[in-house]
């Protein structure tokens, strides 16, 4: 019966092609959003592991997601060193480039190993070291490298000044979308001595929250632990996940209506054919299966097409967002979504076809 179902689908190529396209677009949108959510979850896990025992100090009312430019005084660095339980303090200065696609982090050259090089590795070139204190050099993430087609040895423009790329991070790092440069060089071209964020490493991980509260109450700044940051990241990921479900629901409704409409039109156009089938012995169950098979094939083709489209969409997203990638899990979700959609929304049209009265149908012109 499958060969008959395939033959019937070619009767109205345009209508069925549009139905398949609707399913494919819904699947592609759903998988793209789910991939972002899954990518963020991986990034959160990696980020959380790397930030254990570190307190992120920001201007009051700011968060790590909204803080750019210089707003913290360098005096805070010396103040924080005097807190009991603080191992060392690392000042950072960061800016968002005018094209809004890249975040530049100014890092202290004498602490790159402790803060940056501990969890991430260089794929090409070398890491920034103490000899680069006043040099205009940069480390780029793999995401930035792919998106901008930039590699070690190239020049990148930051606020009108050229910086030489001396290293590229391995793929899969939480900071892979950023540019790292010596903090002094970035502050010089930004004409500021202020800081964006200060990272405080504590000597006893168990006292992280206690020390964070001391810093916050004493200096009047925001002091966030890794738990605070992971929670905020998780909230963002949950919102994206919710959006994926909303888009999935809307796609299901639109795609489902398209499938139901196509199947109802097929039933209407083939009433006489259904009557003939019943007249020569076809049962209601056989006709029901026939139309369900046609709908499932539509859903399968739409799902596969959507997965192919999502490969391209997710690839583009991966150039801008770390950890985003097509996985077997996403392929399974896409197929399950399309097959479930086509089955559910074709049950009633198929049932209507099975109930067609043979005598009435044979009179249908």
Of 219, 238, 270, the position where a domain reaches its end is 219
> Considering its fold, how many domains does the chain have in total?
2
| One domain, residues 175 and 89 | yes
pLDDT of res. 162: 93
- Asked if the model's pLDDT at residue 353 lies above 50, the reply is yes
Mean pLDDT of 30-40: 80
What are the tens digits of pLDDT across the range 160-196?
A: 899 999 988 876 555 545 788 999 899 999 888 889 8
Question: How much is the pTM?
Answer: 0.63
24 & 113 share domain: no
Domain coverage including residue 322? 1-51+224-364
Q: Of 219, 245, 277, which residue is a domain's last?
A: 219
Residues 231 and 214 both lie in one domain: no
3-state secondary structure of 115: helix
| Alpha helices (H) in the chain, listed in sequence order | 2-9, 13-50, 75-81, 112-115, 142-148, 183-190, 208-219, 226-269, 271-279, 284-318, 328-354, 358-362
Residues 20, 106, single domain; the answer is no
pLDDT band for 234, please (50, 70, 90 cuts). confident
Domain boundary pick from 188, 219, 250: 219
Residue 66 in this model has a pLDDT that exceeds 60: no
**310 and 348 in a common domain:** yes
Residue closest to 303 by CA, chosen among 31, 1, 3:
31
Which pLDDT does position 176 carry in this prediction?
A: 46
Do residues 7 and 64 both lie within one domain?
A: no
Residues 73 and 186 in one domain: yes
- State whether 130 and 276 are in the same domain: no
How many percent of the chain have pLDDT more than 70?
82
Are 232 and 138 part of one and the same domain? no
Q: Which two tokens stand for residue 148?
A: 């901008």
CB 185 within 8 A of CB 107: no
Q: Are residues 349 and 249 in the same domain?
A: yes
- One domain for residues 357 and 264: yes
Cβ atoms of 118 and 101 within 8 Å: the answer is no
Residues 240 and 272 in one domain: yes
**Closest among 254, 266, 257, 265 to 290, alpha carbons compared:** 266
pLDDT band (50, 70, 90) for residue 116 = very low
Mean pLDDT of 255-282: 81
């Amino acid at each position: 019966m499958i060969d008959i179902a395939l033959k019937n689908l070619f009767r109205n190529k345009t209508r069925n092609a549009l139905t398949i396209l609707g399913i494919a677009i819904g699947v592609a949108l759903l998988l793209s959003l789910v991939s972002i959510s899954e990518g963020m979850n991986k990034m959160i896990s990696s980020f959380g592991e790397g930030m254990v025992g570190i307190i992120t100090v920001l201007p009051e009312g700011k968060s790590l997601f909204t803080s750019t430019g210089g707003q913290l005084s360098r005096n805070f660095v010396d103040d924080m060193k005097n807190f009991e339980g603080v191992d060392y303090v690392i000042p950072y200065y960061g800016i968002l480039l005018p094209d809004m696609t890249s975040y530049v982090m100014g890092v202290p050259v004498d602490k790159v190993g402790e803060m940056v090089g501990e969890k991430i590795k260089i794929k090409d070139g070398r890491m920034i070291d103490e000899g680069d204190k006043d040099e205009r050099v940069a480390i780029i993430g793999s995401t930035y490298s792919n998106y901008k087609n930039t590699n070690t040895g190239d020049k990148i423009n930051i606020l009108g000044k050229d910086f030489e790329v001396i290293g590229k991070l391995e793929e899969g790092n939480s900071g892979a979308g950023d540019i790292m440069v010596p903090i002094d060089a970035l502050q010089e071209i930004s004409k500021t001595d202020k800081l964006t964020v200060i990272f405080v490493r504590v000597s006893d991980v168990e006292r992280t929250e206690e020390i964070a509260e001391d810093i916050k109450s004493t200096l009047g700044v925001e002091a966030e632990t890794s738990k605070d940051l992971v929670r905020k990241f998780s909230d963002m990921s949950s919102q994206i996940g919710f959006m994926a479900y909303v888009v999935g629901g809307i796609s299901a409704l639109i795609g489902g209506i398209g499938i139901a409409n196509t199947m109802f039109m097929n039933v209407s156009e083939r009433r006489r054919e259904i009557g003939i089938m019943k007249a020569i012995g076809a049962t209601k169950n056989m006709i029901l299966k026939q139309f369900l098979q046609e709908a499932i094939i539509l859903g399968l083709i739409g799902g596969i097409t959507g997965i192919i489209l999502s490969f391209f969409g997710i690839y583009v997203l991966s150039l801008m967002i770390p950890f985003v990638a097509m996985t077997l899990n996403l392929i399974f979700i896409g197929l399950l979504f399309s097959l479930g959609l086509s089955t559910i929304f074709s049950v009633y049209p198929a049932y209507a076809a099975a109930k067609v009265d043979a005598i009435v149908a044979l009179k249908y012109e």
